[in-house]
């Protein structure tokens, strides 16, 4: 069913098709049974091959040899997620994080000197932000870069054990330079976290003087990526090593910045790096699609237990319990795909044209945070279900699922811990984008909410117009078929979000200077829920808009049923809330459960079509359980 693939491929369909064709030629080897060092070597080799294609250039500016296609760049990371995820992550470190930091936090001199060697992989680099003691609260990193006006140099220092840089990709083996995030100190004053270029290895691969490097060793997954730890013992770097787009130090040590507040400046700097988070969400989606494709194909092939009166055994995907494991997850994967596509489009629009509008930038960051959290948790649970649905065969490395599971596991806590990210989403909704927006301290949150909560913010997403049209056109109804009424579904999600947000705001308004932490902490589960239901609404709207723009009638009908399954499975999982808040009656609650079962049965014959539409190149599906 070509047309379903077309709908999924969307705006960057050309890039997706090109990559599929390229990949079909390339030698791709599953890293099954490789030791850590062999795996790292294989991934570096693949990274070098990748550097020869144009893809790493996609996201960089045309004046330095790039293609300036930001959306295309993110989509190409997403497509890399169909293969060995170590390669995706290593490419993300090199071109997304390291290259992205140089591009977005540096200025012309840095661009001219570094972007080409970065794109060509002549300068392998690291993104050294996280420290052992600070992962989520990166505003309080402890590494320092103190300006010495006499030498016109910064002195980079790891002041204590907790300040070592930790889990840094590309550090243990291959990186030669690192973008190091450190507290900038000049004239005895700290100016907050800034990014500095620090050479960590010489041409021969030996650590630079004063730099200590340690290997993080084997990990649960992603063992093709060489994560390491870095310590700096009074390492001197030239003044111009400061990536100085958002803050600079003159030769005499005078600090200047276009943004006055240290906090706001730092979060503006962080915000420019939002692509990384979006790419993680996208590749989590790719891994999920691959796992579902394997599990569905196996589920159509595997037979167990005879049906009375028949000699053939029953295909396991014909069992309701098996459908329940896979089909709602498949529907959610479709939903997240369309939400991702819309997010990438927003990113593209925003970053393609000059200095972005600040409010839209923060909306984008909030949506990226939320979708990353929801997509990566969805990946973890779906890949787990896919593994279980393949039984013992799913546990064998040769059948790919073990690597998918182990590799994506860390997605839920890297590039932002999901729990922290959902809080950030909720906070964004509550504080209507004031200055301290991203300062996550409970006091700041509670205070802002107390002062100026203005109700749920509906962002200007592309989907909103479609949603409003559908809601306006709905006659309103109240029979049991209402469950399948798109306007009813949309209003239910909208209403849930508004109600939850309103409740959180009411609780947080009780905060005073003295009890702010306690009030915030007591409501933390409620705050997280607000973030979650907001993302759910956003995801549904993107799915609805995708169904709406689908032109082929048959495809549209199928997609519409998949959308129903996404909605109703979501309501089913959360129906305690709907019941408690009078949004569903008991009989209708039960009707939701029955409707999910009905939809599973109805979509069962289309399961193969739905996974085939992901058009995953066959070489990424070389699992003996589905090919033998």
Q: Kindly identify the residues of this chain, within the stretch 362-421, that bind a second copy according to CB under 8 A.
A: 380, 384, 387-388, 391-398, 401-402, 405-406, 409-410, 412-414, 417-419
Q: Is 312 in the site for a second copy (CB under 8 A)?
A: no
- Choosing from 3, 136, 432, 622, the residue that interacts with a second copy (CB under 8 A) is 136
Q: Is 159 in the site for a second copy (CB under 8 A)?
A: no
CA–CA separation, 605 vs 609, rounded Å?
8
Q: Is 214 in the site for a second copy (CB under 8 A)?
A: no
Q: Is 219 in the site for a second copy (CB under 8 A)?
A: yes
First to last CA, the chain: 24
- Shortest spacing between CB 90 and a second copy, in angstroms: 16
Which parts of 424-463 interact with a second copy (CB under 8 A)? 440-443
Question: Nearer to a second copy by C-beta: 61 or 589?
Answer: 589
Q: Pairing relation of β-strands 177-186 and 125-128? A: parallel
Question: Nearer to a second copy by C-beta: 352 or 521?
Answer: 521
- Choosing from 5, 107, 146, 524, the residue that interacts with a second copy (CB under 8 A) is 524
Judged by CB under 8 A, which stretch of 241-249, 326-334, 518-526, 560-568 contacts a second copy? Answer: 518-526
Question: Nearer to a second copy by C-beta: 152 or 526?
Answer: 526
Residue found by looking up tokens 């939903």 in the block: 335
Q: Is 301 in the site for a second copy (CB under 8 A)?
A: no
CA–CA separation, 1 vs 4, rounded Å?
6
CA–CA separation, 200 vs 461, rounded Å?
43
CA–CA separation, 89 vs 222, rounded Å?
8
Residue found by looking up tokens 């200025």 in the block: 107
Per-position b or e across 485-495, b if 16+ CB within 10 A of its CB: bbbbbbbbbbe
- Shortest spacing between CB 567 and a second copy, in angstroms: 16
Residue found by looking up tokens 């379903």 in the block: 4
Q: Is 288 in the site for a second copy (CB under 8 A)?
A: no
- Shortest spacing between CB 98 and a second copy, in angstroms: 18
Residue found by looking up tokens 């700097």 in the block: 269
* 8 A C-beta contact, residue 420 and residue 136: yes
Question: Nearer to a second copy by C-beta: 425 or 559?
Answer: 425
DSSP 552-591: -HHHHHHHHHHHHHHHHHHHHHTHHHHHHTTSS-HHHHHH
* 8 A C-beta contact, residue 440 and residue 423: yes
Chain centroid to Cα 329, Å, comes to: 18
Q: What is the 3-state secondary structure (H, E, C) of 18-37?
A: HHHHHHHHCCCCCCCCCCHH
Quote the tokens at residue 118.
């970065």
Question: Nearer to a second copy by C-beta: 235 or 444?
Answer: 444
Instruction: Give which of 408, 415, 405, 410 is closest to 284, Cα–Cα.
Output: 408
386-to-116, 180, 209, 392 alpha-carbon distances in Å: 42, 39, 49, 12
Question: Nearer to a second copy by C-beta: 275 or 405?
Answer: 405
539-to-428, 508, 585 alpha-carbon distances in Å: 17, 26, 25
Question: Nearer to a second copy by C-beta: 256 or 521?
Answer: 521
- Choosing from 528, 545, 563, 611, the residue that interacts with a second copy (CB under 8 A) is 528
Q: Is 137 in the site for a second copy (CB under 8 A)?
A: yes
- Shortest spacing between CB 105 and a second copy, in angstroms: 23
* 8 A C-beta contact, residue 397 and residue 32: yes
Residues in the chain: 628
Size of the site for a second copy (CB under 8 A): 83
Instruction: Give which of 440, 436, 476 is closest to 452, Cα–Cα.
Output: 436
Q: Compute φ and ψ for 339, nearest 5 degrees.
A: -65, -40
DSSP letter at 207?
A: B
Question: Nearer to a second copy by C-beta: 101 or 172?
Answer: 172
Q: Is 86 in the site for a second copy (CB under 8 A)?
A: no
Q: Is 134 in the site for a second copy (CB under 8 A)?
A: yes
Q: Is 583 in the site for a second copy (CB under 8 A)?
A: no
- Shortest spacing between CB 134 and a second copy, in angstroms: 7
CA–CA separation, 341 vs 71, rounded Å?
9
Which parts of 231-260 interact with a second copy (CB under 8 A)? none
- Choosing from 159, 217, 258, 605, the residue that interacts with a second copy (CB under 8 A) is 217
Question: Nearer to a second copy by C-beta: 388 or 557?
Answer: 388
Which parts of 592-611 interact with a second copy (CB under 8 A)? 593, 597, 601
- Shortest spacing between CB 387 and a second copy, in angstroms: 7
Q: Is 586 in the site for a second copy (CB under 8 A)?
A: yes
Question: Nearer to a second copy by C-beta: 59 or 276?
Answer: 276
- Choosing from 49, 109, 522, 554, the residue that interacts with a second copy (CB under 8 A) is 522
- Choosing from 313, 468, 481, 557, the residue that interacts with a second copy (CB under 8 A) is 313
């Amino acid at each position: 069913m070509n047309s379903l693939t077309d709908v999924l491929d969307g705006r960057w369909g050309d890039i997706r098709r090109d990559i599929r064709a390229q990949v079909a030629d390339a030698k791709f080897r599953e890293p099954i049974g490789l030791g850590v060092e062999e795996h790292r070597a294989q991934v570096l080799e693949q990274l070098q091959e990748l550097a020869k294609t144009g893809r790493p250039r996609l996201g960089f500016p045309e004046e330095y040899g790039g293609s300036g296609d930001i959306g295309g760049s993110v989509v190409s990371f997403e497509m890399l997620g169909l293969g060995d995820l170590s390669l995706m992550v290593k490419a993300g470190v090199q071109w997304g994080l390291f290259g992205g930091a140089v591009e977005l936090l540096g200025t012309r001199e840095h661009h001219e000197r570094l972007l080409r060697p970065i794109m060509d992989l002549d300068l392998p680099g690291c993104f050294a932000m996280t420290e052992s003691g600070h992962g989520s609260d990166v505003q309080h990193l402890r590494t320092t870069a103190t300006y010495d006006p006499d030498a016109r140099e910064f002195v980079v220092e790891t002041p204590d054990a907790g300040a070592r840089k930790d889990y840094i990709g590309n550090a243990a083996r291959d990186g030669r330079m690192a973008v190091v995030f450190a507290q900038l100190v000049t004239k005895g004053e700290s100016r907050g976290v800034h990014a500095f270029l620090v050479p960590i290895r010489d041409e021969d691969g030996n650590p630079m003087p004063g730099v200590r490097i340690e290997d993080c060793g084997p990990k649960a997954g992603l063992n093709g990526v060489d994560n390491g730890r870095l310590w700096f013992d009074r390492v001197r770097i030239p003044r111009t090593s400061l990536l100085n787009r958002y803050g600079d130090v003159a030769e005499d040590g005078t600090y200047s910045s276009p943004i006055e507040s240290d906090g706001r400046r730092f979060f503006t700097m962080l915000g420019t790096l939002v692509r990384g988070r979006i790419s993680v969400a996208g590749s989590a989606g790719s891994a999920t699609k691959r796992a579902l494709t394997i599990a569905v194909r196996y589920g159509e092939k595997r037979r167990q237990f005879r049906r009375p009166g028949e000699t053939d055994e029953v295909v396991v995907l014909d069992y309701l319990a098996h459908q329940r494991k896979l089909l709602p997850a498949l529907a959610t994967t479709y939903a997240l795909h369309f939400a991702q596509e819309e997010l990438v489009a927003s990113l593209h629009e925003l970053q393609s044209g000059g200095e972005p509008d600040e409010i839209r930038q923060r909306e984008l960051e909030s949506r990226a945070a939320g979708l990353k959290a929801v997509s990566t948790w969805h990946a973890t649970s779906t890949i787990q279900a896919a593994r279980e649905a393949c039984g013992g065969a799913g546990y064998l490395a040769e059948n790919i699922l073990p690597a998918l599971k182990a590799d994506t596991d860390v997605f839920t806590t890297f590039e932002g811990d999901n729990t922290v990210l959902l809080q950030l989403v909720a906070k964004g909704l509550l504080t209507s984008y004031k200055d301290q927006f991203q300062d996550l301290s409970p006091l700041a949150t509670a205070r802002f909410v107390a002062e100026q909560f203005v109700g749920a913010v509906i962002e200007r997403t592309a989907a909103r117009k479609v949603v409003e049209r559908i809601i306006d056109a709905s006659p309103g109804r109240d029979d049991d078929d209402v469950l399948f009424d798109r306007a009813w579904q949309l209003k239910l999600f909208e209403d849930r979000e508004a109600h939850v947000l309103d409740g959180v705001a009411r609780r947080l308004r009780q905060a005073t200077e003295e009890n702010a932490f306690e009030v915030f902490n007591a409501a933390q589960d409620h705050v997280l829920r607000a973030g979650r239901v907001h993302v759910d609404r956003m995801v549904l709207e993107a799915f609805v808009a995708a169904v709406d723009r689908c032109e082929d009638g048959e495809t549209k009908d199928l997609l519409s049923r998949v959308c129903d399954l996404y909605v109703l499975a979501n309501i089913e999982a959360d129906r305690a809330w709907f019941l408690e808040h009078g949004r569903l009656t008991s009989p209708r609650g039960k009707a939701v459960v029955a409707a999910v079962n009905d939809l599973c049965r109805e979509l069962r014959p289309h399961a193969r079509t739905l996974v085939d539409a992901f058009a995953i190149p066959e070489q990424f599906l070389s699992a003996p359980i589905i090919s033998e």
